[in-house]
Amino acid sequence: MSPSILIAGATGNTGRAVTQTLPRLLDSKGPLSGHRIIALTRSSSSPVAQDLAKIPGVELIEKNWVDITADWLREHQVVRAFIASHNEPNQFAEESTFHFNALDAGVEYVVRISTTAANVRPDCPVFYPRQHWAIETLLGSPEFDDLKWTSLQPNVFSPFVMASAAEFIKKYRKTGEQDTLRLILSEDAPVGIIDPDEVGIIAAHLLSQDDTSMHNKAKYVLNGPEDITGKQIVDMIEQHIGAHVKDVSFKDVSFIDMLYEYQYAATKQSKNVIYSIKRAAETSWEGKCSTSTTSPEILELAAPKRSPADTLKTLLEERFM
């Protein structure tokens, strides 16, 4: 059995693009040419998983990444891995276990997905960026020196930011009526929102490097190709509908109330912890998440190209699918 590159969460927001991109990047004459690509998914019967299984060189395996052991990694001869963990309150416990097992199994290099760089600090008021900070601190400790790693810190994903704009346009076109437009961005602060597929493409480029040492222990900041403000989103909507948007709620995080009610209330998760998510966008409102923060290495590897307008167009086209 030949060595393998593991993609944990291959059907997720970023993992799908890693799986689609990596096979094209492996040089047929390079040191990784004989490596297998293992795409891990919790449901091999899903449409996305079935499409990925058709890609030459990709082996689809149904398994939850939180159940991966060091023995499993050795059995499949995993030498490199990609992981995009969940952001649940138990993230640190489960992702740190994955990294410990990778270290124990002799995995050489891991690319992981973190979160907005301005939030990854020990005093962030939101729970999950502190978990990402803790993971990066753990990986940067001397005890983990034998495991090379890169942490990607992407800005907020563009489909999440633009979804309310797309729904507003769709409803207006259908009924001619307007609800309150709720935007998580502030009116004026520029934010470099990024498409998750482009985060996956960057991860694939890192995994395909012949020599990963220059990226070891790196924490790269990822943004899209251009900034956008809440006011600019409103302008885009008005161009699409040919009418004035009557009521806008900027800095709107009311969706957290619904998130807690429908996803967490029944699980008895701490409301205090979950509601801390309401403060996640504060750094963007303060102007700390613009494209000016993008790491230059990212622009050299695979500069993001997908604009907010491109994302909105795709979301509007989904009504016809």
Quick check: 31 pLDDT over 90?
Answer: no
pLDDT digit string, tens, across residues 197-224: 999 999 999 999 999 999 999 999 999 9
**Percent of residues, the chain, with pLDDT higher than 90:** 92
pLDDT of residue 28: 67
Instruction: Find all residues with CB under 8 Å of 167, minimum gap 6, and list them.
Output: none
Where in the chain are the domains?
Answer: 4-154+195-223+294-302, 158-191+225-290+305-320
Dihedral-angle region of residue 273 (phi above 0 means left; psi in -120 to 50 means alpha; beta otherwise): alpha
pLDDT digit string, tens, across residues 93-127: 999 999 999 999 999 999 999 999 999 999 999 99
pLDDT-derived band at 268 (thresholds 50, 70, 90) equals confident
Diameter over CA atoms, the chain: 62
Q: Which residue has the higher pLDDT, 320 or 153?
A: 153
Topology classification of domain 158-191+225-290+305-320: UDP-galactose 4-epimerase; domain 1 (3.90.25)
Report the chain's C-alpha Rg in angstroms. 20
pLDDT digit string, tens, across residues 234-249: 999 999 999 999 999 9
Dihedral-angle region of residue 306 (phi above 0 means left; psi in -120 to 50 means alpha; beta otherwise): beta
Name the CATH architecture for the domain at 4-154+195-223+294-302: 3-Layer(aba) Sandwich (3.40)
Quick check: 156 pLDDT over 80?
Answer: yes
Residue carrying the six token digits 């303060």: 286
pLDDT of residue 319: 53
The answer to whether 192 and 226 have CB atoms below 8 angstroms apart is yes
Quick check: 321 pLDDT over 60?
Answer: no
pLDDT-derived band at 265 (thresholds 50, 70, 90) equals confident
Helix, strand or coil for residue 112? strand
The two three-digit tokens of residue 140, written as one number: 């940067």
As a whole number, mean pLDDT of residues 76-88 equals 96
Q: What does the mean pLDDT of the chain come to?
A: 95
CA distances for 275 relative to 8, 79, 256, 280, 285, angstroms: 28, 38, 7, 10, 18
pLDDT-derived band at 34 (thresholds 50, 70, 90) equals confident
pLDDT-derived band at 312 (thresholds 50, 70, 90) equals very high
Quick check: 21 pLDDT over 90?
Answer: yes
Instruction: Find all residues with CB under 8 Å of 256, minimum gap 6, and list them.
Output: 274, 275, 277, 278
pLDDT of residue 320: 44
pLDDT of residue 29: 67
For 267, counting Cβ atoms within 10 Å of its Cβ (0-12 exposed, 13-18 middle, 19+ buried), the class is exposed
